[in-house]
A and B are shown apart, each in its own frame.
Chain A
Amino acid sequence: MMEQFVTRLRGDGAARSINRTQSPIRAHGVPWATIMLGSLAPWLPVIAPAPILPPFGFLMLLAWRLGRPNLLPLWAGLPLGLFDDLYSGQPLGSAILLFSLALIAIDLIEIRFPWRSFWLDWATAILLLAIYLAAGALFARTPLGQLQWQLVGSQLLLSIVLFPIFARIVAMLDRVRLKRVRRID
């Protein structure tokens, strides 16, 4: 029984991480890569007749920025937004503008409320998602009737519910990001 316990310890991540260090590419690349992966959601094997999916790229950006404040530079909205615009179907520039403004807004909120909690993060995300979706519908030049607001509203509800899940996913990815994989020689 003791031997089983020992082998389990040896197989454990902590035991294997001796003599290893973090990979800088992974530590810096994972947030960018996962946000861009979120922006690639239009290529999911779902052909949607209506806007039903939440903006995965923006959700990922919010989750990383709120969960790990110092990781993304303030100008990250420009490249990430450009990438999002290429695939989202929105007019080019809409995500660049909205991502950049969201990052600045989060920064200002952080200065105003230095003591943060998950509830504040969620509230911030709800506010920014509402503005993002409404502005996105406005920029798409869709005739804004009651119907469109219903569509955007249901999208917003789904995004709000999904944010905590994305926050957990990002927390998980953060552990992957900081895993000790590089061997020290």
Chain B
Amino acid sequence: MALPSGRRPGSNKKAQLGLFAGYLFAGLGALLGAALLVISLLRPETFAGLRSMAADIASPAGEAGASGRVASQNVFEAIAGYYRAGSRNAELQQEMRIARIKAAEAEALKRENMRLKAVLNLADGETRPVATARLIGSTAASTRRFAWISVGRLDGVRPGMPVSSPLGLIGRVLETGQRSSRVLLLTDPESMVPVRRATDDVVAFAEGRADGMLRLRLINLGINPIKKGDVFVTSGSGGLFRPGTAVALAIEITRDGAIAQLLSNPAATDVVLVEPIWQPQAVAAAAAPSIAQAESQDADEAASAIAATVSPAPSGSSTPEPPSAAEPDAQ
């Protein structure tokens, strides 16, 4: 097939101009895209409002799809159950799986309680979930792993809140819209959760690997004590995640830790819980302005005070420039 004639302007001046304008606009579009890309790479939170608005608009469709997904999953599960030994079998296995994880969590909680009582005599009350939601969508084509849930700011959801299912932790809220929020899944390459072994105090970081697995990296290097089948739970350091929530199961030992399978596969969850941030003070302290920033602010104030008291300095080079503060990375 030959090229359609519209692309060959010949000696027609108007057509040539139109073609040129087309290239010009396309080039400008590409440049604009590049500029936006640079901005959103340097400051990922810039376009959060735009994104959450778009998510709010699309979320009803996602919600309808989510209920369909759950229903169809149930159908498939029932069929699979009959195929094996009746649908009861599938149900019992599901219960058993939850119970096993719950047992591991309970063990972890007992130890946590013991330690806390020994050290601080701190009373750790039961946390109540902020909201229950459905997972309504996920970035299925991008290497970043985000999901959307069907609750937002109106339901009391705030960025940073942990999201979990009965089987374990799923991720944390990253951006909130009115009625939907974006969740950073545990498998995202930029997600990092402090964990420890459920049975003792082997501490590690669980990093996402973007392929549905987690990479556990031990904090105390040395002889790797992890064995296949060890369950890891959140350790509570950092203050974001309540300690003792199940996270992952080690399936392959590496030199500095292990490759672990996520215990609560987001694809198989029906309803998720949004929990409050465990220790808001600790998180706020971590996000507080750094020492360098505080110092530069002090210097600013001092400079302006001097300028005000000493003399009405000529506007120009003589006013002391405030030292440029090193921007703390907003990640």
- A residues with a Cβ closer than 8 A to B are 40-56, 69-70, 73-75, 77-78, 81, 86-101, 103-104, 107, 110-111, 114-117, 136-137, 139-143, 147-148, 150-152, 155
Contact = CB atoms under 8 A, between A and B. Distances in A.
A74 B144 contact: no
A87 B54 CA distance: 8
Contact of B211 (A45, A136, A147): A147
Given A92-B37, A104-B23, A42 B7 contact: no
Contact of B6 (A70, A86, A97, A139): A70
A114 B8 CA distance: 10
Contacts of A42: 137-141, 148
B242 interface: no
A74 B141 contact: no
B4 interface: yes
B142 A93 contact: no
B70 to A, nearest CB: 9
B169 to A, nearest CB: 14
Given A53-B141, A69-B4, A96 B146 contact: no
Nearest to A95: B33
Contacts of A94: 33, 37
Interface residues of B, number: 66
B2 A74 contact: no
B322 interface: no
A104 B30 contact: yes
A70 B18 CA distance: 13
B144 A75 contact: no
Given A50-B212, A96-B32, A142-B210, 6 more contacts: A42-B137, A75-B26, A77-B30, A96-B30, A98-B33, A136-B142
Given A51-B142, A96-B32, A91 B25 contact: no
Contacts of B85: none
Closest 7 pairs (CB-CB, A-B): A96-B33, A93-B36, A89-B139, A93-B37, A97-B33, A49-B212, A45-B69
Interface string B277-316: 0000000000000000000000000000000000000000
Contacts of A44: 65, 137, 140
Contacts of A117: 1
A77 B29 CA distance: 7
Nearest to A88: B142
Contacts of A90: 139, 142, 144
A117 B3 CA distance: 11
Residue with the highest number of chain A CB atoms closer than 10 Å, among B30, B39, B47, B185: B30
16 contacts: A46-B69, A47-B269, A55-B141, A70-B4, A77-B33, A81-B33, A88-B139, A89-B142, A91-B41, A92-B37, A93-B38, A111-B7, A136-B142, A141-B190, A143-B189, A147-B209
Contact of B140 (A41, A73, A75, A77): A41
Nearest to B41: A91
A93 B34 contact: yes
B266 interface: yes
A75 B231 CA distance: 52
A142 B65 CA distance: 29
B51 interface: yes
A152 B143 contact: yes
Interface in B184-203: 185, 187, 189-190
Interface string B60-81: 0110011011001000000000
Contact of B146 (A53, A54, A89): A89
B211 A50 contact: yes
B263 interface: no
B7 A110 contact: yes
B41 A141 contact: yes
B33 A51 contact: no
B30 A51 contact: no
A114 B55 CA distance: 42
Contact of A97 (B37, B211, B212): B37
B141 A51 contact: yes
Contacts of A47: 69, 135, 137-138, 147, 266-267, 269
A33 B262 CA distance: 37
B229 interface: no
Interface string B36-56: 111111001011001100110
B175 to A, nearest CB: 11
Contacts of A96: 29-30, 32-33, 36-37
A64 to B, nearest CB: 14
A43 B62 contact: yes
